[in-house]
Structure 1
């Protein structure tokens, strides 16, 4: 991990939140190098002991927030509420769930009741 080019950007956060380091590292690299988002930045979420990733998907102007976590973690409704609150209550966030086999799945979470798109 230390030899990867993204490590210098991530190192302070990885050291601050070691339990969430693997998920953050995997998600950040997917967003930056595979999906090629722009304006990518890290947002510290002290109340849930990790960092989120903010950025813009290709061909969009809207800032999106991604909160990485591991499949092995237990999340609660309170945990999700704290994530939304620390991100200044965006309409939606994406939960990036990573696993030990390097799988990565994104789930879109919206505040309140949201009618599904047709």
Structure 2
């Protein structure tokens, strides 16, 4: 992992949050290299014991927030509230759920009850 090009940007956080290191590394590389997000920055979320990311999808102006986690983790509503608070209360957060086979599923989480679009 330490030979990978993204290791330099992530190394301070990988050792600080070892339980979330794999999910962070996998999600960061997916967003940066595969999806080609721009202005991608790592944001510490100490209340959630991990880091999240902010960035922009290609050809979009909106700054989006992503929080990586593992499929095997149990998350609570309090954890989600803390995530929104530490990210500065964005309109929504994408939860990047990582699996052991390197798949990532992104779920859009919004605060409160949100009516689905018709």
TM-score band w.r.t. shorter chain: over 0.9
Q: Which residue of 1 aligns with 2:99?
A: 99
Aligned-CA RMSD value: 0.6
Match of 1:61 in 2: 61
Give the TM-score taking structure 2 as reference length: 0.98
Q: Which residue in 2 is equivalent to 1:86?
A: 86
Moved over 2 A (4+): none
Structure-1 residue corresponding to 2:27 = 27
Q: Structure 1: which 5+ runs fail to align?
A: none
Unpaired runs of 5+ in structure 2? none
CA–CA separation in structure 2 for the residues paired with 1:56 and 1:88? 16
Q: Map Cα deviations across residues 41-69 of structure 1 (whole Å, 9 max, x no partner).
A: 01100001100010001111110000000
Matched, 1:7 2:10: no
Aligned residue pairs: how many?
A: 118
1:77 counterpart = 2:77:
yes
